[in-house]
Structure 1
Amino acid sequence: MLNRLQESDIKLLRVFYAVASCNGFTAAEPVLRMQRPNISAAIKKLEERLDLVLCHRGRGGFQMTKEGEVVFQETKRIFNAFDNFVFNLKSLHDDYSGHITLVLMAGLPLSMHLAVSKAVKSTMKKFDDIHVNIQTRLYNEVEHVALSGECHLVVSTYDMVKPESVTFHPIGIETEGRLYCAPTHPLAKYRDTDLPEGVKIGDYPAIGIAGLSSANYIEDETRLSIQTFSDSFDAAMSAIMTGEYIGLLPDYMAKEQGAALGLVPIAKGSLFNFSHELFVMNGKNTRLNPVLRHCIKELSYFISESQK
């Protein structure tokens, strides 16, 4: 069992990370510039060091174990931190090259993803030797990744009390949303009318979003009856479409994905309206060198333009 990380372990983890990222030994060969027998031997040695089975390989193809998934995610965190350390160290010498990591909140609309692509392209064009690693995280993880050093910048909405340890750069965009249900739900018949006096929202099970401020579930003296939680708006929409739950969703999701499903805004969309401001975020320990400052400026510009 591994008690202390050695340099040789890091080399083995890089092999595993490449294999897991490529979803197979053969696909990882050109990335690692290693032949399959050598890759297999490295994975076996790592498994012996960790005393864990990380993946299955055979006729059924490559498949990671549950333990392998955990090791992969932790390895990703380590290597992101390494890349960020090197990037920050270079910037102290006015050397703006290397990898920067940009995290997007899961569930952002396609228009914002395209805007992020334009901002990244602009940044890479201005700084020749920059590579951008784009990842997604769940809503309740964005604050942690901004603080942990796993990434340089985060694009996300944020409706909690803002911690002093995170810097927020407003984009000038707010994502609006409201209470939705499936077309099979009893409240769907009130799509175009106000709720009758005897119908109470609190009588219907609702699904919440982990990490979202509880203030979103209270409107005047009415409170949603949260029975379960989801880790993202996407997963919440799936639960809502069972017809068993009502829940809050951003309007862009209802328009882009929910329209084809028949997603229904309850009571003319007048209930539990919310507006969450979109930010580019970074931890106070992140040094905002010219590359990151340019990226923030471009993200703000292109995302704002995409919503006009």
Structure 2
Amino acid sequence: MSRTDNLLPRQLGDSHIRLLRIYKAVVECGGFSAAEVELNISRPAISLAISELESLLNIRLCQRGRSGFSVTEQGEVVYQAALQLLSSLETFRTQINAINTELRGELNIGITDNMVTTPQMRITRALASLKQQGAEVTINIRMIPPNEIEAGVLDGKLQVGVVPALRNLQGLNYYALYEERSELYCSSEHPLFAIDKAELSSEVLSQYDAVVPAYPQTAAIKQQQSRLKASASSTDREGIAFLILSGEYIGFLPTHYAERWTDKGMMRALEPQSRFFYTPYSAVTRKGARPNIILETFLQELAKTE
């Protein structure tokens, strides 16, 4: 087999781009099963697409089977090349959009978990306005941890992100959105649920297991957390809620997120007058990014929601 047998055709068509997009999603999701939801196609269809791409390239891209999913060394090279190609395509689309008044293309946005219940709904209203102005705009939302959002905006995979403003990275622009209040909660199954407020001293609370965040926090927030008996952790707020609802842990949750359980009597706040903190949230974009009419329109609509 000659060296040219494992090259893509000189002219890439939509079918080749589609295969590369599927492969990119499979790698980022960590396997075929997880990619089903991301791609909204069946696992057999994903498997067929990856096999077709491997045949086209004459390369084994990934290992899959009972031992699990893993990307081969050559597969990693193809993945990185695919990122560059797809990013270049989006850059081209962005540049064309910049000289065209019609909104057409993609907005790739990363959002911290469990913010949909935030009462201000600034992001929701801005997305609605963007879609009303550009029916051809495709909005892609990724719910991922703040550090992954920051990294995604910096490397161009995301045009904009919404993160807790706990630090300022040099390569990002920050647009303040709002402050989120969090309070200390226990569930109705927990011994503290029935205890009178007057008896909820620091000494009493420190005797009970608590779940704390495994993601970055400000010094002030860490000080609140340090008063607790930390015996569990979670990478997101949903995990914290799971452990609180088990009846075995206490922990801090955003008030807007905990409302669904406090309204039903399934949770209560513990000493809300003194055990609370505020987390500022910001939208972030990459400094020096090329002009993007879709992103600019979204940011303009976001500013109007103040």
Is the shorter-chain TM-score for this pair beyond 0.5, marking a shared fold?
A: yes
Deviation at 1:180, TM superposition (A): 1.1
CA displacement, residues 134-180 of structure 1 (integer Å, 9 cap, x when unaligned): 2211234332222221111112332x222222111112x22111111
* TM-score (normalised: structure 2): 0.71
Distance in 2 (CA, whole Å) between partners of 1:111 and 1:197 is 29
Find out whether 1:278 has 2:281 as its counterpart.
yes
Match of 1:49 in 2: 59
Pairing 1:139-158 to 2, within 5 Å after superposition: 139-158=146-165
The one-letter code matched in structure 2 to 1:176 is: R
Deviation at 1:224, TM superposition (A): 2.6
Structure 2 unmatched runs, 5+: 1-5, 10-15, 27-34
Task: Name the SS for the 1:50 alignment partner.
Answer: coil
The 8 Å contact of residues 112 and 144 in structure 2, kept in 1 or not, is answered as yes
Find out whether 1:24 has 2:57 as its counterpart.
no
Match of 1:32 in 2: none
Seq. identity, %: 18
Q: 1:297 to 1:93 in 2, by over 3 A?
A: closer
Q: 1:45 to 1:193 in 2, by over 3 A?
A: farther
Match of 1:252 in 2: 256
The 8 Å contact of residues 117 and 257 in structure 2, kept in 1 or not, is answered as no
Match of 2:245 in 1: 241
Decide which of 113, 118, 123 is 2:130's aligned counterpart: 123
Find out whether 1:195 has 2:200 as its counterpart.
yes
Distance in 2 (CA, whole Å) between partners of 1:14 and 1:248 is 39
Decide which of 111, 114, 134 is 1:107's aligned counterpart: 114
Match of 1:263 in 2: 267
Q: 1:155 to 1:83 in 2, by over 3 A?
A: farther
What is the Cα-based RMSD across aligned positions, in Å? 3.9
* TM-score (normalised: structure 1): 0.71
The one-letter code matched in structure 2 to 1:287 is: R
The one-letter code matched in structure 2 to 1:102 is: I
The 8 Å contact of residues 101 and 133 in structure 1, kept in 2 or not, is answered as yes
Count residues in correspondence: 275
Q: 1:223 to 1:86 in 2, by over 3 A?
A: farther
Match of 1:218 in 2: 223
Match of 1:164 in 2: 170
The 8 Å contact of residues 105 and 138 in structure 1, kept in 2 or not, is answered as yes
CA displacement, residues 181-223 of structure 1 (integer Å, 9 cap, x when unaligned): 2222233234644524752x33333222232315213149x62
Deviation at 1:49, TM superposition (A): 2.5
Structure 1 unmatched runs, 5+: 29-35, 57-64
Distance in 1 (CA, whole Å) between partners of 2:212 and 2:88 is 35
Deviation at 1:43, TM superposition (A): 6.0
Q: 1:261 to 1:51 in 2, by over 3 A?
A: farther
The 8 Å contact of residues 7 and 56 in structure 2, kept in 1 or not, is answered as no
Deviates more, 1:96-105 or 1:189-198: 189-198
Deviates more, 1:5-14 or 1:128-137: 5-14
Deviation at 1:86, TM superposition (A): 3.1
